[in-house]
Amino acid sequence: MRVAVLGAGAVGCYYGGLLARGGESVTLVGRPAHVEAIGRDGLVIEWADHRETIRVGASTDVAAVKDADVVLVCVKSPDTDAAARGLAPHLRTGTIVASLQNGIDNAERLRGVLTQPVLAAVVYVGAYMEGPGVVRHTGRGDLVLGASRADAARPDVARGLARVAGMFETAGIGCLVSDDIDVALWTKLAINCAFNAISALGRARYGRMARDPRIRALMEGTVRESVAVARAGGVVLDERRLVDAVWGVAEALAQQYSSTAQDILRGKPTEIDSLNGFVVARGDALGVDAPINRALHALVKLREAGDDLA
């Protein structure tokens, strides 16, 4: 299939690269530095034991999505609304759009602008951009894909879901289809809330965080609050299984820094409003307090705003 990836950062380059390697026609849409490097040298994926170069199309122009059968949206959550508006004039009627983003409501925001079928994916991959056109893989790489409860009965959404899941599996990317993607999204959000802010504030990798009893207790607190807010909104999560999943992620991605930590180190805006900040805001709306998430959100916003000791 013809695949366009909007947002050629670590996630977009990783999945776009594997799809291209698997035989799909892929175009990455991203920033000039990455696009120039990919056009010149190819997309480079650095694995733990080898380096791989993949030839893939790249463009800085969102109009490059115009012939795509599938568009993978991989932009940062704060850029979702602008991405939807940018995509709208260029998509064909039958194009399938899939959100591969952190946070709960990105697919909903895309759906508010686009008439095409919109899917939501929960991404479990450790990766970061090591340089222009070079992505470093640090762990996992599987997906959970589904349609929202509101869209699950739409025939075009069901067909699109099967088609996109098959595309990933054919490329060797594990893709579990969920009949309740809201649970899967909240599960990933709770895990992100346990890791992202603390990794950024402590400048720590996941493995070191999990070895510190004080940090383990703090991480478990974020999970408890996320579960309470999700349940208040009608999404039932298993707290014990979620905590176990957090320690599983810490083991599998022991060398990973969170995306929030990477953003702060590079002086870029973070997605913390869509992570711990989302739990706080949704909790406020539902009458559920989330003090640990509130503190972590506030501290990351302070750190994001600048460094007085720099």
For residues 271 and 254, what is the distance between their CA atoms, to the nearest angstrom? 21
Catalytic residue among 76, 188, 268, 301: 188
Would you give the distance in Å from CA 20 to the centre of its chain? 20
* Residue 16 token pair: 């776009």
DSSP class of residue 79 equals G
* Residue 216 token pair: 């383990």
For residues 183 and 236, what is the distance between their CA atoms, to the nearest angstrom? 7
Task: Indicate the SS3 state at residue 225.
Answer: helix
CA distances from 46 to 10, 95, 136, 151, 169 (A): 11, 31, 5, 37, 21
Q: Smallest Cα–Cα separation from 54: which of 33, 29, 25, 30?
A: 25
Q: Are 1 and 94 in contact (CB under 8 A)?
A: no
For residues 7 and 5, what is the distance between their CA atoms, to the nearest angstrom? 6
Report the DSSP beta bridge partners of residue 177. 145
Known catalytic membership, residue 66: no
Please, is 23 exposed, middle or buried when counting C-beta atoms within 10 Å of its C-beta (0-12, 13-18, 19+)?
exposed
Task: Compute the residue count for the chain.
Answer: 310
Helix (H) or strand (E) holding 281: helix 276-286
Q: Are 219 and 167 in contact (CB under 8 A)?
A: no
Residues 6+ apart with CB under 8 A from 257: 128, 199, 204, 205, 206, 265
- Would you name the residues annotated as active-site residues? 188
